Structure 1
Amino acid sequence: MNWRSEHIWIELITGSRKISNFCWACILFLGSLGFLLVGTSSYFGRNLISLFPSQQIVFFPQGIVMCFYGIAGLFISSYLWCTISWSVGSGYDKFDRKEGIVCIFRWGFPGRNRRIFFRFRIRDIRSIRIEVKEGLFPRRVLYMEIGGRGDIPLTRTDENLTPREIEQKAAESAYFLRVPIEVF
């Protein structure tokens, strides 16, 4: 969702609360729970899951390995659920031509640096840069080049934008900020 007026442009960033992350967290949780239940049912010799008879899986070594994979999967699943609940990576980009200020805000992991906030003047922006790497895994990222601070990405690296979309976004940003576009 974006909000735009003549002098202010606010672009909201979704971060880790994407549908794909929800799907992967659910799949990983259910799969690892299944592995853990099959491993523990082989230990107890009782069917905790009716799909697999516990007599077919010997506890040592198959049951131990399945328990290990189940526990490891639960840890990874809990990590995904935590990043989703903390909304890591979400935030906003605010461009204010009237004040001459750009604000970039993102939520990080809990701790001292949970809030990531950059603020700088529009006149410090040198250009909007498009980085394109084609091949088996194409990568198209939009950066804002700032004098003395380096490059700040405006799009996520995992965001699969088409060449037309990245060009349009770069053109809109460059036009609004009145800076040139560079392509690498």
Structure 2
Amino acid sequence: MPISLRDAFPSDLPAITTIYRESVLNGVASYELVPPEQDEMAARFSAITGQGYPYIAAIDEGGLLGYAYASAFRTRPAYRWMVEDSIYLGPEARGRGIGRLLLTELIQRCSDLGFRQMAAVIGGAHPASIALHRALGFEDTGRLKATGYKHGRWLDTMIMQRALGEGAASDPDASTYPGTLFKA
């Protein structure tokens, strides 16, 4: 089945909520312990897309397989050129290269929008996520030890980063800021 990428839509929220629920209950990527309901996921979706950040869905003829989005790394104005990526896959989508497709597209869209840096904050220091990010040019920038306690164990958080576009090679043009978070 061919996989395609497209913007995520509000109509995808039931599938997005299901994928995230499974990740919260069984994984370590999210440090949430109780999965949010669909109305909370809708509010998060609206907050992200309403600020101009990309939110992408991976689909095949069977439906939504996973999703990825960029959001503000931090909300203080000096961080406005940096985004944080998030990627979640349904169990049936893992190990099929879909995460790589989503992250590659997210990097391109964020670069095209004018963002200069992307951070990955990898819960549980998950080896597959670390390998994916390294393969796409992210560098290790730090490991925070025992940052979360989930599934009966302490979890580390890995921080990774990569430049987008010109990165730090030139000053950004504030008149072309890509998001809405810091616009007047």
With normalisation by structure 1, the TM-score equals 0.26
Higher helix share: 1
The structure having more radius of gyration, on CA atoms, is 1
The answer to which structure, 1 or 2, has the higher relative contact order (CA under 8 A, 6+ apart) is 2
